[in-house]
Every structure is written in structure tokens, then in C-alpha cells.
Structure 1
Amino acid sequence: MVKGPPTSSGSPTGTLTGFDVLTGRAPDPAGEPRPDALAELPLPDKLREVDLTLRPDRERAVDALEIAAYLEADGLNDESLRDRYGAGGLFAAAEWLYAQRGTGRALERPRREARPRFPWELAQRGPLYLLPGLCGLLIAQATPPVTGRAFVFAAAFGWGYSLLIASVRYAEPLGTPGRALRLTLWVGGACGLLGGALSALLWPGSGLWTTSLLWGTAMGGAVALAGAAAGVMLALGERGQVAGAFAPALLLGGMLYVLPSTGLAVAALAALAVFPVLLALRATRDGGELPARFVTLRPGLGLAAYGWALAAAFAGLSLRLGGWTMLPLVLSAGLLEAGVWNAQQGLQYVARQQGSFTLLVRRGAARVLGTALVYGLGLLSLLALLSAVRWLAAGWLGIGTPAPAGAAGPGTLGDLPFSDLSRAALVTVSAFGAALLLSTWLANQRRERWLLAFWLGFCLLLTLGVSPPALSLFAAFALLPLTLFTLYDLRSYR
């Protein structure tokens, strides 16, 4: 046994092992951790991967040199262990791993970190998503009826198309795919023009068909182009620019609501199409690495098709219950995204803290299903509050019940928003919201093909006359098995 260098008092600092001599290491005067102390120290975070891969071999290792041989055989040298894993080198890492041999400390010692914070800043995305639609509605009320049908097509198209835009954005997470996002902008506008023209040809309405065609094409193109521009800016996190982009169109739309005129409607449509596009082009001035070709958009087509099926289901429920009833779902779209984001961050947190696979799945299920439940109950509470306010307002106005639709007058509620809320509407919106959150999380796990078939079936049953509350509850419960099955896939915790 070899003694270490003496300290200032003349006594040795500790006993050197044969491994210390072979590697040319010696305890420094400041007092370096001894091998027995290393067994009690937390393993460095970046060595946890090495710890897990070597654990079966390390249990049978007779000394640290054998561990070093395993590391070197796996292609881990001094440089990689120092730069990538934060170890002092090959022999330093081997000594640390050998000191904890056979204990599985990497699993038993979770990394200490703060729980993920709920991203409240995403909540404002819901009202921002509503801006293109609000501008389109203001313009449609003062223009021929064909523009309303073109608007419905463009709004439904934008729902799914925003998912395609997001997929393009995150195809290059370390840069801004400017050229590819500009391609989504122009393709979205072209689809809006074609859809608006098709709406005008199928339902021309009264007047000259050329006039209907022009109005329908202009409305479809403007709303689709504005929606694509908003999707691009929101994908890049430019929330302030989205609000500023639609300010001119909102101002002209408000003036059009008070003083309808053809010239003002044309100006509002132009403002709706031009200003968001200009700001979207400015936000994508960095070209990025992704090429502006159809092959770049192809991976997102499945998500877009799923989004269009979901938009059709939402539109069907709106026709059955009324658009105002479904408005909280649109306004809380940002909260839904934040809930899905927080649930996924929670899964990653659980995966880093939990070593048992069974407990991991249980805690993951509690995280995802609990988020869906909270979101559904939140919608239920909001609608219940609006319903209570409605009845209180009715009492203050001296009437027992709100007036029926179309009978508005002095002292009545008439067609005020949410004046027709019922128990069926409360159940439908809350259950559909919970199903929507589960569906969004599953879509992030690449289950869009199954979800496409699911929501197409939902639309079919809704068309056949199935009760919206029963169908929404069925949708929420039917998504539970797929959610639990997905949670058994470790890739869901990435």
C-alpha cells in the first residue's frame, strides 16, 4: 500500500489504491473524494446514461479498470467523457461508476429540479386565433350572403391548416424555416381563393353570378391568407405582431358594421389580406434551411386532415347548439394548448423522477387525464357562471325567463349571447372540451390517422341525429383507451 503526500502537519492525506497509482492520480491537498465517499455522492446527471447502460456489467466488475475497459469498448474515451458527460476522463468516470456498482443509483437518485411551470403566456393565443374570424364576420354581415359561405369554408380550412404550419415550423427547431413558412402562406391563400370560388359556384345566391363569384373568391382568399399569416406569426411566437396586424381590418370592420358600404367592405377585405401578410413576410425574412417545396409540407398533411375533421365536428356542434355556445372553446384555445404543453412537460418531469415503469404510467395517466378533467370542468364552470348571470340579469330586468330568440325588446334579454344555455349545452361543451384536449395530446404523439377516422365518425353520428351531449360524452370516454395505450409507450415521455 502506498501512502499519499504528507500534509502540512506531516500526516498523509489518505491511502492510495493500486488504481490511483496506475492512473497517476493522487489526492490533492484540498481533499479529493475517496472511493468510499464516491459511493454516497449523487452521480453527475450526464453520467446517468452511462450508468444505466453499464449496470449489468458493473455488477460483476472486479475493479475500476474493468469498468474503464467497458467504457472504452463502447467508444467512450477521455475526450468524449470529459466534453459530453462532464466527467474528468475515462478513469475518473470508471472510478465513480465502480464506487456505486450494483446499486442502480442512477435510478434511485432522481435529479432534483423544479416542477414545470404552467405556461400562462400561451393563454392569449385563443383570442388571437379569433381575430381573422372576427374580421371576416364583420365584413360578411355587410356583404352578399355568398361571402358568409366562403367565410365558413376559409375558417374551417384554417383550423387544419394551422396544424400543418406548426409541423413545418418545428421541422427545423434550431432555426426559422422562412422559405418553407412563406410557402405555407401562399398555398393557404390559393386554397382560400379556390374554396371561396367553389362556394360561390355551388351556392350563388341572388344577383349576378359574376358578382357572387368575385365576392366569394375575395372573402375566401382574404380570410385564408390572413389565417395562414396568423398561424405563421403564432408559430414563431410573434403574438404582439398578430394583434397589430389585424388592427386596421378590425377598425374598418367596426366602421362597416355601423355604416355598411361596398367601398368600405372592399377596403376591409384588402386590409385583412395585406397587413397580416406583410408582417408574416417580415417575420420570415430569415430563409432557413428547409426548402420551399411540396416535400416539406407533405409530413404535415396528416395533421391538417385531422384538423379539418375536427373543424367539421366543431361546426356540426355549432349548428346544433348555436355559435355563441361554442365560443368559450375558441377563446380558451390558448389555455388548451398550454394545458397540453404542461401535461407533456409533466410527463418528462415524471420520467426523470420515477424509476418504476408501473408507477411511471400511473403518474403519467394522472397527469394527462387530470389536465383534461380540469379543462372540461373549467369550461363547465364558465358556462354555469354565464348561465347564472343570465338569470340574474333576467330577474333585475323584471322578467321571469329570458325572451325567446327574435323577441328582443325593452326589458327582455332576446338574442343576447348565451341566452339559450341549457343543461345539454353545458354537458356538451365541457365533455367536448375534455375530448379536444385528449385529442390534441394524442395528435402530438403522432396518432393523427386514428384521430382522423375518429372525428369523421363523430361527424357522421352527429349528421345522423345523435344527441350532442351523449355524443360528446362518448367521445371523451372513447379516447381514454387510446390515451392509456399511448402512455405505455416510452416515447410518449420525450
Structure 2
Amino acid sequence: MTGGGRREVLQAGAPSAGGEFGRQRGFSSQDVRESGVRPGSSSPRLQLPGDLPERLREVDLKLAAERSNAVDAEELAAYLEADGLGDEVLRDRYGTDGLFDAAEMLYRQKGTGRALDRLTVPGAPPFPWRMLLRGPLYLLPGLAGLLIARTLGPAADHAFVLAAAFGWGWSMTVAGVRYAEPFSVPGRALRLTLLVSAGAGLLGGGVIAAALGGSGAVLTGALVGGAVALSSGAAGVLLSLGRLGQFAGAFASPLLAAGIVMSLPSRPAALAALALLAAVPAVAALNVTRARGSLNAAWATLRPHLPHAVYGWTMAAAFVALSARLGIWPLLPVILGAGLLEAGVWHVQERLQTAARSVRGLTQLRRVGLSTVLLGAAGYGAALGAGLVALAGFGLPIDLPASLPTLALYSAALLLSSWLANQGRTTFLTAVWALGAAALLLGLPPPLFALLAVLALLAPTLSTLSDPRSYR
């Protein structure tokens, strides 16, 4: 955070001074750039404006204002000699070729005396637009599973919802496992996540089908739940490894089969499409996890990441409860905008890191951080609100007066929640979304739910921004 940035200041602030000194000595800055050697020096040395030996930087820091404004290197050499820094000391202790060599290097810092005390002013980071594609990709497994489940009856529908909600949270565990070994692919551990997702989907789908559809629907519910959960787990693996092309290819054939089933409904065709949905993404995920990695396929590997899964499951529960009140169409922008959410959180954190390198003092840093996070949340809410207006223009069944404020506030809450989750506030966030889901089921109006969610997240946002570690 300090060393690299400070060297940039030295290099950026000195070319004009170096060029002026070169003209006085009878050579130009162009000569210096071409030769890379300082004239009159006994050994070749790169002629870079910020090229100071580390120990000589101490001298640069201690230069008084009048000395840093010396008119030439000879004047600076006189000051150094008066301070007891002669040829021998500067050569032995400071790694220079002597008094005039040191004076020359320091003079080339003219205007940047005490430069190492200054903060850089880096440019604003670019927005990661490439991440927007991830939103439509997230839609592929869910859309394929939904179209297939609709053909297999109400029990399959309920199993699909449960498996999709499970996949929402489990994908966070998958990402945690992947980044626990950031420099290689933890193949064994990621394959374990696939096994757990398939087992949980089979069990959960069978149980909910038995509870809501009777014993005759248990097998169908288990198959749907297992296939959807396994495909969601495979999607998480592929996305965590950045394999967007393979992700799209893996879900192309299941989505095509689901479209055929929707046009020509039949149970055998639906089961065949379900098999494709389970098998093709799973094979793709197994293919990219061939490297074994150092993480073991064991419970101890998964356990540290389970709190994030629980947090994701409560978010999914709130989403399901909200969709039951508003309908799925008003919330379609949330799915399509998942990539924008990731990009927004990423960009907000990059801007905080930039502020930490260019702002002095925690009070000012907190002020900049608060405006950055709140504007990011507001921008995300406005973008999804605009998307909802556009979808309504296509004739979709959307009640804009009721849905628009809810979606805008809910989207802003999602970005605040995602940013806070990256700061380690998952326990608090889990409680917020669990209470929100319960309140919606008990009859809380959706706009009020969205407003309360935003208000509940403002206090931890303020306290988190008071911690300098949040700007890393």
C-alpha cells in the first residue's frame, strides 16, 4: 500500500527537474533515456527519475524545504557536505558513487523532497463490465429446471424450488472451497461439493414431495430435487473457476431439451431432459476438477464455509417469500442482474482501496467510503428498477406501481448485504434475511419489507466503514 505507490510519485514528479539538470550539464533527457547511463558516473546506472538507493531515500526524507529547492546539484552537494555526508559516508553507507553522485540523484528529485511522505492519487478503477454476462448465465440452470418440473406436476415444482434455494446458498460454499486454495484447482474438495449437493437435493426433493404431494410423488420429487441441486452445484464449480464458455455449453443441451418438453409435454421426455440437466453439467464440472489439489475431500474442508451457505439459504428464503407475494416476473431483474451485483460489489471495494491509498485520515476516509458504498447500492437499485420498467414495456404481467419501489429498495439491500458479507458480517446478515422471510410469510407488505431491510443494513455498514480493514 505504501512502497509501490510512493515510488510512483517519485517517478512521476521528477522528469522536468532531471531534464533541466541535463541541459545544464550539456546532455539532454533524450540522451539519458537512450543510454541508460548517468554521464560522469564510474559505473552504469539506470537513469530513472525515482531511482534512489533505499538508504539514500532517508536523506531525501530529511531534506529541509530550502534544500529541496536547491538551484543545482552543486548547491545540494554543499548542503550534504555541511551535514557531514561526505564521499566516504555516502559511498559506504548509502550505496552511491560519492558526494556529487548522491547530490545529482537527489537533485533529480527536485520538487519531490520528502516525497515518500506523500500519498499517491491513483485514477478511479474501471467498472468490470465483463462480469455482467454472469447474470444471464445464472438463469440457464434455473430456467431449464423450471420448464422440466412444470411438466412433472406440483410435487416436482415444490422440489425444484427447494433445490434451487439450496443451490443459491451452496454456491457460496463452493466458492469458499475454491478460494481456500487460490493458486490451483482443489479438485477433490470441489467434487465433494457436487456429491453433497446431489444427496441433499435427492433427500430434500423426496421429503417435500411426500409432505405436499403424497407418497406417490416421492420418486419424482427426489429426481427433480437431485438433478436441479446437482446442476446448481456444477454451475457453482464452473463459475468459481471462471469457465464461462464451458458453463454455457454445459447448459445448452438441457435448456434445448426443456424447451422441447414445454412445447410437446410428455413424462418420458421430461425425465430424459432431467437426466441431461443432471449429467451434462456434472460431467463438465468433473472435467475441470481433474487436478486433485491439496484440500482433502472431507467434512473439515467444508465446515469453515458452511456459515456462508446458511447466509445464502436465508437470502434464498426471503427471495422465495417475496416472489410468492409479488410473482416471479417482477423479480426477474434480480436474476438477470446477478452479474451486475457481483460487478458492483467488486467495483465498490476497488474504489475503497483506491481511497485508502489517496486519502489521509480516518474521518475523511470514512466519509469517502460511506458515499462510495451508498452510491453503489443506490446505483444498483436504480439499474434494476430501470430493467423492470423495460420488461414491463414488453407486455409482461408486472404491476409497476407496486413492484418498482420494492425491487429498487430490495436490490439496494442486496448490494449492501453482499458487501457486508465480504467484510465477515454473515451472522448478522443471516438473522436479517431470516427475519425478513418470516415477516413476509406473516403478511408484511413487500415495500415495507424492502425498506426495513435497507434500514437494518445501514447501521452495520456505518460501523464497518469505521474499521480501516474494510478498505483492504
Residue of structure 1 in register with 2:326 after alignment: 321
Alignment-derived partner of residue 120 in structure 2:
110
Cα deviation per residue 1:272-305 (whole Å; 9 max; x = unaligned)? 0000000001111111222211111111111110
CA gap 1:431/1:43 in 2 versus in 1, 3 angstroms: farther
Query: Structure 1 residues 204 and 347 mapped into 2: Cα distance closer, same or farther (>3 Å)?
Result: same
Q: Which amino acid aligns with 1:190?
A: G
**Aligned equivalent of 2:453:** 475
Which residue is equivalent to 1:408?
none
State the alpha-carbon separation in 2 of the partners of residues 214 and 370 from structure 1: 49
Distance 1:357-1:201 versus aligned 2 partners, 3 A rule: same
Residue type at the aligned position of 2:320: A
Would you identify which runs of 4 or more consecutive aligned residues in structure 1 move more than 6 Å?
30-34, 57-60, 62-65
Q: Tell me the TM-score normalized by structure 2.
A: 0.78
Write out per-residue CA displacement over residues 292-322 of structure 1, whole angstroms, 9 at most, x where no aligned residue. Answer: 1111111111111010000011111100000
Q: Give me the whole-angstrom Cα distance separating, in 2, the residues matched to 1:308 and 1:155.
A: 10
Given candidates 345, 359, 375, the residue that maps to 2:350 is 345
Q: Secondary structure at the match of 1:295?
A: helix
Aligned residue for 1:246, secondary structure, equals helix
Change (3 A) 1:140 1:350: same
Q: Does 1:385 align with 2:415?
A: no
Over residues 323-376 of structure 1, what are the superposed CA-to-partner deviations in whole Å (9 max), with x where a residue is unaligned?
111111111001110110111111111112222322222222222111111111
Identity score, percent = 46
1:380 is displaced (CA, Å) by: 1.7
Query: Does 1:492 pair with 2:466?
Result: no
**Does 2:207 match 1:229?**
no
2:203 corresponding residue in structure 1: 194
Residue number among 378, 382, 385 corresponding to 1:373 in the alignment: 378
Figure out how many residues of one structure are paired with residues of the other and give that number.
Answer: 408
Q: 1 CA distance for matches of 2:385 and 2:267?
A: 42
1:433-479 per-position Cα deviation (integer Å, ceiling 9, x unaligned): 00000000100111101101111111222222121101201211221
Q: What residue is the counterpart of 1:243 in the other structure? A: 248
Q: CA deviation at 1:420?
A: 3.5
* Counterpart residue number, 1:28: 41
| 2:183 counterpart (150, 154, 174) | 174
In structure 2, do the counterparts of structure 1 residues 254 and 31 end up closer, same or farther at CA, with 3 Å as the change threshold? Answer: closer
Q: Which amino acid aligns with 1:490?
A: P
- 1:201-255: per-residue Cα shift (whole Å, max 9, x none)? 21224xxx2x411111100000000000000000000011111111121121111
In structure 1, the residue matched to 2:171 is 162
Contact 1:107 1:355 in 2 (8 A): no
Distance 1:483 1:59 in 2: 42
1:360 alignment counterpart: 365
**Structure 1 residues 301 and 64, CA gap change in structure 2 (3 angstroms):** farther
Change (3 A) 1:63 1:315: farther
**Which SS does the other structure have where 1:260 is aligned?**
coil
In structure 2, how many angstroms separate the alpha carbons of the residues matched to 1:346 and 1:375? 16
Paired AA for residue 460 in structure 1:
A
- Cα distance in 2 for residues equivalent to 1:103 and 1:148: 70
Matches of 2:254 and 2:140 in 1, distance apart? 9
- Given the alignment of the two structures, is residue 124 of structure 1 paired with residue 133 of structure 2, yes or no? yes
CA distance in 2, matches of 1:166, 1:426: 32
Name the CA distance, whole Å, in 1 between partners of 2:357 and 2:84: 29
Letter in 2 for 1:309: T
State whether structure 2 residue 445 is matched by structure 1 residue 435. Answer: no
Q: 1:139 to 1:385 in 2, by over 3 A?
A: closer
Contact 1:43 1:105 in 2 (8 A): no
The DSSP-based 3-state class of the residue aligned with 1:141 is helix
CA RMSD of superposed structures (Å): 3.6
Please state if 1:464 is matched with 2:469: no
Q: Following the alignment from structure 2 to structure 1, what is the Cα–Cα distance between the partners of residues 222 and 51?
A: 64
Structure 2 partner of 1:135:
144
Partner of 2:213: 204
The corresponding residue for 1:400 is none
CA shift in 2, pair 1:294/1:388, >3 Å = same
Aligned to 2:285: 280
Contact 1:108–1:355 (CA<8 Å) still a contact in 2? Answer: no
Q: Distance in 1 between matches of 2:167 and 2:114?
A: 51
1 or 2, which has the higher helix percentage?
Answer: 2
Superposed displacement of residue 115, structure 1: 2.6
SS state of the match for residue 288, structure 1? Answer: coil
Helix, strand or coil for the counterpart of 1:475? helix
Q: Select the residue among 299, 308, 313 that pairs with 1:308.
A: 313
Specify the SS of the correspondent of 2:213.
coil
CA contact (8 A) 2:119 2:357 kept: no
Letter in 2 for 1:324: W
1:195 partner letter: G
CA distance in 2, matches of 1:164, 1:64: 60
The alignment partner of 2:116 has SS state of: helix
Match of 1:404 in 2: none
Distance 2:389 2:150 in 1: 30
- CA deviation string 1:107-149 (max 9, x = no partner): 424164x432211111111111111111111111111321111
Is the Cα–Cα contact under 8 Å of residues 169 and 176 in structure 1 kept in the other structure?
Answer: yes
2:340 aligned residue:
335
Task: Report if aligned partners of 2:362, 2:468 keep a CA contact under 8 Å in 1.
Answer: no
C-alpha distance in 2 between matches for 1:192 and 1:345: 37
Q: Is the 8 A contact 2:389 2:400 kept in 1?
A: no
For the structure 1 residues 63 and 257, does the alpha-carbon distance in structure 2 shift closer, same or farther, using more than 3 Å as the test?
A: farther
Match in the other structure for 1:407: none
Distance 1:245 1:31, change over 3 A: closer
Q: Is the 8 A contact 1:154 1:220 kept in 2?
A: yes
CA-CA distance at 1:33 after TM superposition = 11
Q: Is residue 164–residue 301 contact of structure 1 (8 Å, CA) maintained in 2?
A: yes
Code of the aligned partner of 2:324: L
1:217 pairs with 2:222: yes
Paired position in structure 2 for 1:449: 427
Q: Distance in 1 between matches of 2:219 and 2:194?
A: 21
Query: Residue type of the partner of 2:425?
Result: R
Residue 493 of structure 1, CA deviation? 1.2
